[in-house]
């Protein structure tokens, strides 16, 4: 039998963070929130094998962020890191997540909480199947 569960978590940064995607070195900062950014997760289990896919409304994430999410989930759930995929929609209307030099300044407080929020979406999906 195959089971599936889904969840989402708001990953919108605070107003005022540097935005990625407006061209290099233009100092563009958010002035409000039109649509919240989400981490949307899907959890699957088939014949005892579990897998997670999480899609984030971000331009991208660094390998460090993705690895932190995978390590956290592997420790909490036992799902191998190789069965976890962190994906981004590549929106140009979100924050710089540290991967792009000159395309908005990365907000360190946001970067520090982001992996936990992404993992939370995955945990929610696991709880729903």
Percentage of the chain beyond pLDDT 70 is 96
What pLDDT is attached to residue 25?
Answer: 61
Q: What is the mean pLDDT of residues 20-46?
A: 88
Please give the Cα distance from 31 to 14 (Å, whole number).
10
Instruction: Summarize the chain as % helix, strand, coil (round to 5).
Output: 30, 25, 45
Residue extents of the structural domains in the chain = 2-127
Report pLDDT digits (tens) over 88-118.
999 988 999 987 777 888 899 999 999 999 9
**Cα 114–chain centre separation:** 7
- Pick the closest to residue 58 from 110, 5, 126 (CA basis): 110
What pLDDT sits at residue 8?
Answer: 98
pLDDT, average across residues 10-23: 89
* Per-residue pLDDT tens over the stretch 37-92: 999 999 999 999 999 999 999 999 999 999 999 999 999 999 999 999 999 999 98
- Reply yes or no on whether the pLDDT at 6 is more than 90: yes
Q: What is the mean pLDDT of the chain?
A: 93
């Amino acid at each position: 039998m195959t089971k599936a569960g889904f969840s989402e978590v708001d990953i919108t940064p605070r107003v005022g963070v540097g935005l990625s995607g407006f061209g290099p070195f233009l100092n563009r900062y958010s002035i409000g929130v039109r649509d919240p950014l989400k981490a949307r997760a899907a959890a699957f289990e088939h014949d005892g094998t579990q897998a997670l896919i999480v899609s984030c409304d971000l331009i991208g994430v660094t390998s460090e962020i993705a690895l932190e999410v995978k390590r956290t989930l592997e420790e909490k759930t036992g799902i191998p890191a190789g069965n976890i995929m962190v994906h981004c929609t590549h929106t140009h209307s979100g924050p710089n997540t540290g991967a792009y030099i000159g395309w908005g300044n990365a907000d360190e407080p946001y970067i520090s909480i982001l992996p936990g929020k992404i993992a939370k979406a995955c945990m929610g999906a696991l709880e729903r199947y």
